[in-house]
Structure 1
Amino acid sequence: MKPEFFGVFDLMIGGGWLFLLIVLLWAIRLKNIEKPHYKWFMPAMLFKLGFGLLFALTYTKILAEGGDTLAYWEGAIDLNNLFWDSPSAYFAELFQTPSRETISQNFNHRTGYPPSWIYFEPESFFICKILSFFTFFTFNSYIAMTLFCALIAGFSSWKFFELTRRFTFCKPWVIIFATLFIPTVAFWCTGISKDTFVVAAFQIIVALLFSKLLYKKPMHLFSFFLIVVSVFVLFKVRDFMLIATFVPFMIVLLIRLSKK
Structure 2
Amino acid sequence: MEVFNAYNILLSPTNILSTLLFLTIVIAWTFFKSSSLPDKRDVALFRRNVVYKLFFSFVFGLFYLFFVEQGGDTFSYWTSSGAIKKLLFHNFDNFWEVMTNPPTTERLYGLFNYNTGYPYRFIYLEEESFFVAKILAFFRIITFDSYFACTALFAFIAANATWKIYTITSQLGIFNRRLLPVFVLFLPSVAFWSSGVSKDTVVFVSILFIIYYLYKVLKTPGPFFSKLAYWWWLLFFTVIIYHTRPFILYAMLIPLILMYSTSIINKIQSFAILRLLIKSVIYVGITGAFVYVIAYFSAVDLLNSSSALSDAMIVQQDFEQNTSVYGGDDGKRYSLGEIEYTPVGILKVVPASIIAGIYRPFLWEALRPSLIFNGLESVFFVALTIWFFVNKFRFRLKVIQSNEILMFAAGFVLVIAFMAGFTSIIFGVLVRIRAPLLPFLGLILSIDYKSYMSLLIKEKQESEV
Counterpart of 2:142 (choices 137, 142, 147) is 137
Q: Could you say which residue in structure 2 is the equivalent of 1:176?
A: 181
Deviations 1:9-63 (A, max 9, x none): 2111111110111111111111225554343111001111111111111111233
* 1:152 is aligned to 2:162: no
| Paired residue type of 1:240 | F
Counterpart of 1:186 (choices 185, 191, 195) is 191
| Paired residue type of 1:5 | I
Q: CA deviation at 1:220?
A: 4.5
Q: CA deviation at 1:181?
A: 0.2
C-alpha contact (below 8 Å) 1:79/1:90 kept by paired residues: yes
* 1:26 is aligned to 2:31: yes
Q: How many residues end up aligned between the 2 structures? A: 259
Q: CA deviation at 1:206?
A: 0.6
Where does 1:1-260 land on structure 2 (aligned, <5 Å)? 4-7=8-11, 8-32=13-37, 34=39, 36-63=41-68, 65-213=70-218, 215-216=219-220, 220-258=227-265, 260=268
Q: Could you say which residue in structure 1 is the equivalent of 2:433?
A: none
Unaligned runs of 5+ in 2: 269-465
Structure 2: distance between partners of 1:165 and 1:34: 12
| Paired residue type of 2:8 | E
Out of 229-238 and 29-38, give the one that drifted further.
29-38
- Residues 257 and 226 of structure 1, relative CA distance in 2, 3 Å threshold: closer
C-alpha contact (below 8 Å) 1:56/1:191 kept by paired residues: yes
Structure 2: distance between partners of 1:202 and 1:125: 19
Structure 2: distance between partners of 1:211 and 1:121: 34
Structure 1: distance between partners of 2:151 and 2:206: 17
| Paired residue type of 2:15 | D
| Paired residue type of 1:100 | T
3-state SS, counterpart of residue 5 of structure 1: helix
Unaligned runs of 5+ in 1: none
Bigger RCO of structures 1 and 2 (CA < 8 A, at least 6 apart): 1
TM-score norm. by structure 2 comes to: 0.53
Structure 1: distance between partners of 2:40 and 2:227: 21
Q: CA deviation at 1:235?
A: 0.7
Out of 235-244 and 189-198, give the one that drifted further.
235-244
Q: CA deviation at 1:153?
A: 1.1
- Residues 251 and 66 of structure 1, relative CA distance in 2, 3 Å threshold: same
Structure 2: distance between partners of 1:164 and 1:91: 42
Structure 2: distance between partners of 1:83 and 1:63: 30
Structure 1: distance between partners of 2:76 and 2:118: 11
C-alpha contact (below 8 Å) 2:220/2:227 kept by paired residues: no
Structure 2: distance between partners of 1:141 and 1:76: 12
Structure 1: distance between partners of 2:260 and 2:120: 44
C-alpha contact (below 8 Å) 1:211/1:217 kept by paired residues: no
C-alpha contact (below 8 Å) 1:210/1:249 kept by paired residues: no
Identity of counterpart residues, as a percentage? 27
C-alpha contact (below 8 Å) 2:216/2:230 kept by paired residues: no
Out of 15-24 and 3-12, give the one that drifted further.
3-12
Superposition RMSD on alpha carbons, in Å?
2.0
Deviations 1:91-111 (A, max 9, x none): 221121111011112100000
